[in-house]
Chains A and B, each alone.
Chain A
Amino acid sequence: MPEVRIVPQLRRFFPALAETPSVTVDGETVAEVVRALDARVPGLAGYVVDERGALRVHVNIFVGDAMVIDRRGLSDRVPAGVGVFIAQALSGG
């Protein structure tokens, strides 16, 4: 049950997250975490991944302090007790 922290630049589009910097969801991989987030906050996944499920070019996800490696399939595992951080990349936008 990783705790997922989401930057305010993304939370601003979702009233349900306005006062909630983090949520805890089920998921053993990053892809599962994103799916679980979308179930909790409908529409959120579309801001993070494209219609193929690949991480958007200018979005980063960290597992602990490590940037996700599999940007296409988000198969990176999320070990127990490690948090996930979703942020806009500094690459553009």
Chain B
Amino acid sequence: MSDQIVLATRKGTVILDRRGDRWAARPIGHSGVSVSYAARDPRDGRYWAALDHGHWGPKLSRSEDGVAWEDAPSIAYPEGARFVKQYLPSPGDDGSAPKAAPEYQDATLLKVWCLAFGGADEPGTIHAGTIPGGLFTTRDGGESWALNRGLWNHESRGGDLFAGEATHENRWAGTPAAIDYGEFAPGIHSIVLDPRDREHLYVAVSSAGVLESTDGGESWQGRNVGMLNDYLPEPEAEWGHDPHFLACCPAQPDRLWQQNHCGVFRSEDGAKTWSRVSRTEVAVHFGFPVAVDERDGATAWVVPGRGDSERMAVDGGLFVARTDDGGASWKTFREGLPQEDAYDVIYRHALDVSGDRLCFGTTTGNVYTSDDRGESWRCAGNNFPPVYSARFA
């Protein structure tokens, strides 16, 4: 079990250390700066934070000790990177009108939404998911980053727009998370690396769905069979899904879990097919994060919210749900969590597991931890800024 938690918050980076039976917060890093994601690379112990400066643009920051931070070389879209412009639907839209010719937009980095550290056998490799929908990879520890062209040029995005006009219809919609930047662009918030095979990885895109590569990111295939949505005319459409977070069991990587806008889904065959395992009678349906047990791919945790129009704790009471049987049944755990007047939402990167220990951070600045597989919880602090990510170091 890890004894350290790294928080990305609206007002900086906070590292919590286990001291006896309590958690102690270090002085905040990046004071006053919004941090969209922060984590520690388990290979070299270096800390990384994705800064979301309101004025000064997105930046990557790194630290050897979690105290002194420095700007790392920025992720930048290459010249010629374009995407098909999306517009927020408006009340006057006529869905039956013929589609207009695509408009293109030059890509500039709006947000680094997540980081994924490569395996022990590939030191220096880190992947980053961004808005507007880019997967970037560094092989030299962050000195230089390259856009994954196979994914960027995927036919579901219209094809190779570096080369010219779209050759396919764009199927990637915007993510609400982009609206803060005045855009309606897609975003990559989940990158899942197969610990058995460095050539094998998945990404989850808001709002498009899950894609898989088995050749190190050269080519990609959509993996959304069995997914269901309730906001498109065709619930089983290949694209247009809204995964909120994607995670796999490290010991059983073919077992994947997806907390989706439209329920909790799991796959037992490496995302080839998905099954919805929501249980609305215990309010397991809407939410953002999902955590998967490190050894048992049938065990997963979610922190449900009242969705999707309210997006807050269900009936004012915060709880964690766990399944030990692949989603056939869910147990809900409330001990140590507020059961009235709670409005917390737990964002997609703000729930994590390490052995039998779990942690989560909330939009109202609460952090809770459990040492018994989520069955009881203790508060590690009530007055943090809104928490965007909580990752065990």
Contacts and interface: CB of A to CB of B under 8 A. Distances in A.
Interface stretch (A21-29, A48-56, A62-70, A73-81): A48-56
B77 interface: yes
B108 interface: yes
Contact of B108 (A10, A13, A43, A50): A50
Nearest to A49: B57
A89 interface: yes
Interface SS of chain A: loop
B54 interface: yes
A10 B106 contact: no
Interface string B46-70: 0000000111110100000000000
Interface residues of B, number: 15
Contacts of A9: 55
Contacts, number: 42
B76 interface: yes
B55 A46 contact: no
B182 A57 contact: yes
Contacts of A58: 54-55
A58 B108 CA distance: 15
Given A43-B71, A57-B182, A50 B57 contact: yes
Contacts of B57: 46-47, 50, 56
A59 to B, nearest CB: 6
Interface of A: 9-10, 13, 43, 46-48, 50-52, 54, 56-59, 88-89, 92-93
9 contacts: A10-B56, A13-B56, A13-B71, A46-B59, A47-B53, A51-B108, A51-B109, A57-B181, A59-B55
